[in-house]
Structure formats: structure tokens, C-alpha cells
Structure 1
Amino acid sequence: MDDAGRKVFVLDTNILLHEPLAIYSFKEHDVIIPMTVLEELDRIKDSKRDVSRDARVAIRALEDIFHDATPEQIAGGIPITAAGEACGSISIFADYEITETVHAFADKAGDNRILNGVLYLQAYYSPREVVLITKDINMRLRAKGAGVYHVDDYRSDQLIDDIRMLTKGYYQFPGSFWERVGVCHSEKQGRATLHTLPVELFEAPYINQYLIDEGSDFAGRIQSLEGDSLTFKDIGHERMMHRQAWGIHPKNIYQGMALDALMDPDIDLVILTGPAGCGKTILAMAAALEQVIEKSMYDKIIVTRNTPEIAESIGFLPGTEEEKMMPWLAAVTDTMEALHKHDVCTDGSMKYIFEKANIQFKSINFMRGRSIQNAFVLLDECQNLTASQIKTIITRCGEGTKLVCSGNLAQIDSSYLSPVTSGLTYIVERFKHFEGSANVYLNGVVRSRLAEFAEENL
């Protein structure tokens, strides 16, 4: 590519906090890091916020590139390589030397310096395209208002552009499935009935995708894809709705699909998404108790979740690690109470179950380096996790461990994540074709008519 076709990308601080190695994602184009970004990374790396580690990783990556370079080379640009392939260059720009033309927001001096630097570079490199890359929506609006021609979000880690395109884990056929299909090849394997059909009858099929129809008499799950044919297991709508775990029966077909995946020993990862009150946590806990206590398939239950805003303060809470985590895992204890509310002594039942099932409450901050064997792991509220944080948990799981990830993409608390960049969205798309995982979007609120009305109308 000639110089005129190469773009100049100016990175905001939040890009390096979101993806510390983002500097390698711009291929043959040139990357510029304003000095203000380095100052902000330096301030964040020593903080107790959960992004301090990402700031340190970004700083080390820049140091690896610039450690032998002269000041002139750093300002002019150092060629970089990624995966053995030559990319563009990276340089540091002294934006504090630029005469300010943007003075808006006195409390946003750093943003102002970055914007002034981009305006200067835009004129300096003309007619080359200078693009400000930032995840801050308001920064993008301010940049356009200040006269920056090209502003964009960082999308290299976005597998989808619209959250409405996210895989739901099932496909619903209009009308009756069997009337639509007609004749197919069928065979029995033990107690299971398998049917083989041409792939073109289905829309973007993948392994462990559930199949249902509007007629409410059919339910199946894809077992394998081979060339032009597809084989699925005929589960049956009635049989799926009569499954139970720890006394819990599905209230709708979506819960039936979720419970089928949770109770299948051949599925190592189950991803449950859906609105508040759709039954994600209670189904996961019921399946965990059933398989640990009744079936002895696992040795223990480990419950963990992200602790936003308190990575620094968990140590100040009283008690052991489990006791410190109790306020953040109240959803699980509420679920346990709901599962045993009809017992003669609910408190006694819960205490017995906690000991019998060896339920452990762990902080995600202390999971790194562990190896979890023979356990049922429930990762709750994982819409607030980045892809790298979820990877940390998944790679902890050893032999005989089942992991359940649940979350609601409409309730993201992290200021650094959106529904399309959440780690939950990332693993839904990444594990779509993995034979050991299943994903189900639980459509419909079953908590109460009040919760259902609120979800639909607020």
C-alpha cells in the first residue's frame, strides 16, 4: 500500500484499557499514541481499579517496541510486526506542545489535548486519512463537533455489529416441523432417535443448536454436521417439558432447552442469556444440586462472579473469602431459599445442603492460576466481564468440570463494555461451533407478573 492509502490511527486511552495489545490490530496502517494517553495509563496502572492490570500490559507492550529507539525514531515511527508479519508503524506524539483550539470542558483537560493533537495531525498528514479511535461515545461526538473528520469505535474484537444478531441457541420453524420436512432417514441409538436431513432445510445450523416449531409438538438438538447432511436428536416437546432437577420443572420451552443442556454430561459449557427473571440462576442451581447430591457426578459447586467497584474493598469486608463474597452472591442464596421454601426448616435445609454439596463462593479476582477438577462451576453476572476475564475462568476448568455462564446483556454495569463487546457476547459467538457447549436464550420472564410487565414496558 502506498503512503497515500495508509491511514493514521490515533488511539484514545480507553482503547488500550479495553484491549492492551490493540496496537497490533491496525495491519499496514500507522498508529499514533498521544503523550496524554501515556500519562493517563501511568495514573491508572497504580490505581486499585480492575483495569490497572490492562494499563500495565499496554505499557509493557509499548516498552518492548520502544526500548532501543531514539527520541527521533519514536517521534517518526517504529515499524512493528504481529504474528511474524510486518505491519505499519507506531509513534508517540507530544500533544502537549500543540496550541489549543478546543477549550471545552475544563475538567477534561486530557481529552482536550488529545482532540487538539488529532486536529493538528489531520492538517499535518493531509490528504491522508487521520482517524481517532475511541470507545467513549461522548468523545466521538465532541471530536466531530470540534472538526475531526474521521472518528470510529474499536471493532476488531466485535464478532457482531448488532446485539439483535446474537445467536439465541435455538431455531424455531414456522408451523409444524414434520409437515415442512416430510420423509427423512431415522435410526435408533440406544434410547435416542436420530434423524438425518439435508442442511439446506435449516438456517445457519451449528452443533447443539436446539430446534423447535410453532406447533409445540417437536423439539430436537443438532448432533452433527457432515457435508450436505445434518443429524439431530429427537427429544420431543412433551419429554423436554417434563424434565426436572431438584424439584424444578421447566415453565416454558426455553427453560426446557436450558435444563436439557444443564443436565447433559456431554456438554461442558452451558451459556444462559436472557432478561431478568427468566430463570437462569434457579435452573443452574437446581441442576447443580441434582448432579452433585443426587447423582454424585461432581464433587463440589463453585459459585463466582465479578465484583465491580470492589476489587480493592473486598479485603475490608469481614470474614473469610466465602463470607466476603456473600453480599455479591445474594442471588444464589435467594435461589437456594426459593428451592427449599416448603421445607419444615428452611434454614436447616440450606445449611445441610451447603455442606452436603460443598458449595464454595469464590471471587473471580482470586481464580487466576487455579485448576478446578470435578466441579460444577456457576459464573453469574458475566455480562460485566471482558473476553480475557472469561477466558481466565474457562481455562481454569479441568477434567470432569462443567461450567455454566449466565448473564443479562441489558444489565451491564462496566463503563468499559457494551452489549456487543461484552465477554458474554464473545463466548456465545466463539463457542457456537464447539461440540462441548450449548447456548440458550431464555425468552420470557417467569419470576412474577410484576417483573414481566416491568421487563416489557419499562
Structure 2
Amino acid sequence: MTQKTAESASPCKFFILDTNILLHDPLAFLNFDEHNVIIPMVVLEELDNIKDRSKDVSREARVAIRSLEEVLKEATPEQIIAGVPLTRVHGDHQANGSLAIFPDYELEQTDSVLSLQQNDHRIIQAALEIQKKHSPAAVVLVTKDINMRLKAKGAGMQYVDDYRTDQLIDDIRLLTKGFYQFEGDFWQQVGEVSTQQEGRDAYHTVPREVLPQVFFNEYVIDETGSFAARVDAYDQQFVTLQDLGYERMMAYDAWGVRPKNIYQAMALQALLDTHMDMVILTGPAGSGKTLLALSAALEMVVEQGIYEKIIVTRNTPEIAESIGFLPGTEEEKMAPWLAAITDSLEVLHRQDESMESSLNYIMKKANIQFKSLNFMRGRSIQNAVVLLDEAQNLTASQLKTLITRCGENTKLVVSGNLAQIDSYYLTAVTSGLTYIVERFKDYPDSATVNLNGVVRSSLAQFAEEHL
């Protein structure tokens, strides 16, 4: 949550929250344990302006305002400025510090180059005043705006930090890929193996030392291309692997699509496994995430009849044109954002005599629905395959909103490329996609696969590796 540099100062710290922190996590003020939280008045003004907008963050603004009101509603003006105990907030939290509102409207323009006409500058100036007032205690300005952190440091803030409560790893290179690859041949390295046959499936039990960092549904392959399995169970001593068969996996077929490498084969295996409630696909642009997800969804809905419909969704970035200004129905408005899906449909049916007729037929037969993530709240999705694209641009709370919508007989496929984040306030390690990969990596009914390698074209592969 905070940098180590602040830990050497006084044990009692003061955290000043920027507006984007409360939009990212409306209950963020409850995540600072015994320390004191201060919110400048200008932050409340910004939340008030945002709460009535038709943006996806308007809900977060309203939740933040209601939560703050719950803490402060019975306090006097003097108590609000001094700090109100957070212990009065009901619910599961560890906060026992205080929450205060700083009246930054009383600030006067100083010799600083920061103009108080800008809200960011008012927040920085408030932080500087609080730092002066509470010295030598550590006063930390918390913001997800990288440029604001730089300006605050330049203006004289000693401690400036990002909000890290929902950051589970410090380096994106530590993020699980969903599989473990042995060097050389698997059978030459495992030593003693016990094998049990159950119908058509073979299960190998190996010592835990072979896979010390194991988790449920982790795929296990080797460099020779002779072994492919998935972790079925484990304890402190042994790991049980379900033998999937390398050649069998490479022969998977979903709506005419076959894997081009073992990583796509692992993805298809997870996608077609109806016991998997959620499949997370990560990887570079051109690795086949969207195409594999759509082909598996069509196979399970149209050919196998396991699910009744396909719901395709993604968020509509605020940096782009608002969906409300586009003409047509919700699905027509979403068309520009979900062009990757329609492009994939065209690829799957490019050999048909009349591609347009085929696409219209499949859209109706598979009951493919395009939905904006902004309108998914409050819904209960049943008997469907839900494809969530471009998930790297979502926060953990936004992903939680969608995941909790999934009801009986629903499969959620989450895909994204952590190298293509469009959000101003998210990085690869703070993205909601990274968060759910780590949170669900040992959930028995989900699987994660990182699709190594670009299969779109040699041009796309060169760009991914060299640009």
C-alpha cells in the first residue's frame, strides 16, 4: 500500500487520498489499518461532479459518497476536521484510525508554481499543508495518477505513493502463466511415479518436490513435446497429474479451429472443459485469445447445446467516444468496441459461400449478445458463455462486479493483454486482470493459460517482440 520509505518515520501516519483512489476502490479509506486518513474537500467536489455522469465510474463515486456519509453523518464540523474514528463503520475491516476532511478551500495561493485553479494542485497544496502541520509524522499522498505523483514530489511532498492494497505481486514477471514446463523430458526427471487408470484417463502421482509451487489445474508440459498433463490434486507429499496426452491435445477441434501450438492446446482444453467455471487467457496481441474463446463458445452452444447463449462484453474506455452518443440499440452501440469478435467470426466463416448469410445465421443460432460492462450490474446470467475481452483495462472491483453476476451453468472467459493497458491509472501489476489471475490461480474450477507466441502473422510477431 505504501512505500518502505514512510515506515522509518513516526508510527502514526497520515494518508491523503486523491479522487481516483476512491473511484478505484470506494472503500479505500478502510484499508489503512491504524493510520489516519484525510480527504481534501476538493475530492468531495470531484466525486459530486462525477456521480451524475453516465460514466462507469459514476457508481463508484456514489458508493464512496454514501460510505463517507456513514462515517461522518453524526460528527460535528469540528470533529470532521479533527478526525472521526473509523471503528464506527460496520462490516469486515481492520480500520481503527480516523477519517478527516481537510478544508482546502481556505488555502491561499503561495509562491508555488502550482495554481490552485486546478483540482490536482489544490490536493497537492493541501497535502503540503498537512505535512507541515503533522511533522515529523509521515504524511503520504496516495494517488494513481503518475504525473501527479511526480508534481507532488517536485512541490515538496516527502512521501508519495500508489494505492497497493489490491496489488498481489510486485513484478509482472512473477505472475503465474498457468503452466509449468520441464526442461528436457518429463519422465527422465520425475523419478518414482505411480500410475492409476480410471476409464480412459490415466493419473500419475509424483513426489511434491517435483512441483513444489503447484496449484490446481496447472498444466504440466515438457520441452520434448511428449508429455502434457494437468494438476488434479496435491498435498504436502504428492501431486496427482491427469495425463492429457500431448498428441490428443494438439488434435482438439472447436468450430473448425485447431491449436497451432501447445499453449493454444492448453487453452482449448480448459475452454472446452465444462467443469471449468472460469478460464483466464493472457498473452500478447495475435496469440489467438479471442479466436479460441469464440470458437470454443460456438462449439459448446451450437454443436453441443451445453449453454443457451453467448454474451460478449467489455468496458468502453473513457478516453474514447462515449457509447451514449453512438446511434442504434445497445448492441449496435457496442459494435465498434467488439470489432475483434466480429473479425474472429469472419475468420471462422471466410470459406463459406455467403459469409454474410453465415454470420447472420450463427449470430441468431448461437444467440450472441453484445453487452456493455456498464449495464451488467444487477443482472443474473444463467446458461451462458460470457466472453470478457480487453480485461486488462478493468480494476479488481469492476471484475468482481461481472464475476458475481454469473449464475448456474455459466462459463466466464476472461482475456486480455497486460502490455496494452489504456487506463491512465492502471499498470500491469495493478490491473484487475493480474489481480484475478493471482486470486483464482488455486481455485479448483478455474484455469489460467498464458498464450506464448504470436500466431497472427510474422509482422505481428516482429512488432510484439521489437516495438
Structure 1 segments, 4+ long, off by >6 Å, are: none
Q: Is 1:341 aligned with 2:350?
A: yes
Could you say if the C-alpha distance between residues 128 and 107 of structure 1 is closer, same or farther in structure 2, counting changes exceeding 3 Å? Answer: closer
Q: What are the equivalent positions in structure 2 for 1:265-276 lying under 5 Å apart?
A: 265-276=274-285
Please list every run of 5 or more consecutive structure 2 residues that lacks an aligned counterpart in the other structure. 1-8
Question: For 1:28, which of 15, 31, 34 is the aligned residue?
Answer: 34
* Cross-structure match for 1:156: 165
- Counterpart-to-counterpart distance in 1, 2:355 and 2:390: 26
TM-score, normalised to structure 2, is 0.93
Q: What are the equivalent positions in structure 2 for 1:116-127 lying under 5 Å apart?
A: 116-127=125-136
Question: For 1:225, which of 225, 228, 234 is the aligned residue?
Answer: 234
- Counterpart-to-counterpart distance in 2, 1:42 and 1:149: 29
* Cross-structure match for 1:255: 264
Contact in 1 for aligned 2:31/2:95 (Cα 8 Å)? no
- Counterpart-to-counterpart distance in 2, 1:55 and 1:300: 33
Could you say if the C-alpha distance between residues 4 and 421 of structure 1 is closer, same or farther in structure 2, counting changes exceeding 3 Å? Answer: closer
Contact in 1 for aligned 2:182/2:222 (Cα 8 Å)? yes
- Counterpart-to-counterpart distance in 1, 2:53 and 2:327: 23
Q: Is 1:245 aligned with 2:251?
A: no
* Cross-structure match for 1:295: 304
* Cross-structure match for 1:198: 207
* Equivalent position SS for 2:184: coil
Question: For 1:280, which of 289, 293, 300 is the aligned residue?
Answer: 289
Could you say if the C-alpha distance between residues 305 and 102 of structure 1 is closer, same or farther in structure 2, counting changes exceeding 3 Å? Answer: farther
Question: For 1:73, which of 48, 60, 79 is the aligned residue?
Answer: 79
Could you say if the C-alpha distance between residues 147 and 198 of structure 1 is closer, same or farther in structure 2, counting changes exceeding 3 Å? Answer: same
Matching residue's letter, 1:287: A
- 1:47 deviates by 2.7
* Cross-structure match for 1:104: 113
CA displacement 1:278-300 (0-9 Å, x = unmatched): 00011111111111111111111
* Equivalent position SS for 1:328: coil
CA displacement 1:88-124 (0-9 Å, x = unmatched): 0111111232344463354862222222222222222
* Equivalent position SS for 1:250: coil
* Cross-structure match for 1:441: 450
Contact in 2 for aligned 1:49/1:311 (Cα 8 Å)? no
Could you say if the C-alpha distance between residues 160 and 84 of structure 1 is closer, same or farther in structure 2, counting changes exceeding 3 Å? Answer: closer
- 1:86 deviates by 5.5
* Equivalent position SS for 1:266: coil
Could you say if the C-alpha distance between residues 86 and 38 of structure 1 is closer, same or farther in structure 2, counting changes exceeding 3 Å? Answer: closer
Q: What are the equivalent positions in structure 2 for 1:45-60 lying under 5 Å apart?
A: 45-60=51-66
- 1:398 deviates by 1.5
- 1:313 deviates by 4.0
Identity of aligned residues (%): 63
Could you say if the C-alpha distance between residues 294 and 85 of structure 1 is closer, same or farther in structure 2, counting changes exceeding 3 Å? Answer: closer
Could you say if the C-alpha distance between residues 105 and 50 of structure 1 is closer, same or farther in structure 2, counting changes exceeding 3 Å? Answer: farther
* Cross-structure match for 1:131: 140
Q: Is 1:216 aligned with 2:222?
A: no
CA displacement 1:319-369 (0-9 Å, x = unmatched): 332222222211111111101111122112212212221212222222222
* Cross-structure match for 2:154: 145
Contact in 2 for aligned 1:33/1:93 (Cα 8 Å)? yes
Please list every run of 5 or more consecutive structure 1 residues that lacks an aligned counterpart in the other structure. none
Contact in 2 for aligned 1:185/1:197 (Cα 8 Å)? yes
* Cross-structure match for 1:11: 17
* Equivalent position SS for 1:33: strand
- Counterpart-to-counterpart distance in 2, 1:406 and 1:84: 31
- 1:37 deviates by 1.5
* Equivalent position SS for 2:336: helix
TM-score, normalised to structure 1, is 0.95
Matching residue's letter, 2:217: N
Greater mean deviation of Cα atoms: 222-231 or 102-111:
102-111
* Equivalent position SS for 1:413: coil
Greater mean deviation of Cα atoms: 82-91 or 379-388:
82-91
- 1:43 deviates by 2.1
Question: For 2:102, which of 93, 117, 142 is the aligned residue?
Answer: 93
Contact in 1 for aligned 2:381/2:405 (Cα 8 Å)? yes
Greater mean deviation of Cα atoms: 319-328 or 421-430:
319-328
* Cross-structure match for 1:307: 316
Contact in 1 for aligned 2:229/2:242 (Cα 8 Å)? yes
- Length, aligned pairs only: 456
Q: What are the equivalent positions in structure 2 for 1:345-424 lying under 5 Å apart?
A: 345-424=354-433
* Cross-structure match for 2:4: none
Could you say if the C-alpha distance between residues 99 and 406 of structure 1 is closer, same or farther in structure 2, counting changes exceeding 3 Å? Answer: same
Could you say if the C-alpha distance between residues 179 and 93 of structure 1 is closer, same or farther in structure 2, counting changes exceeding 3 Å? Answer: same
* Equivalent position SS for 1:230: strand
- Counterpart-to-counterpart distance in 2, 1:455 and 1:446: 11
* Cross-structure match for 1:320: 329
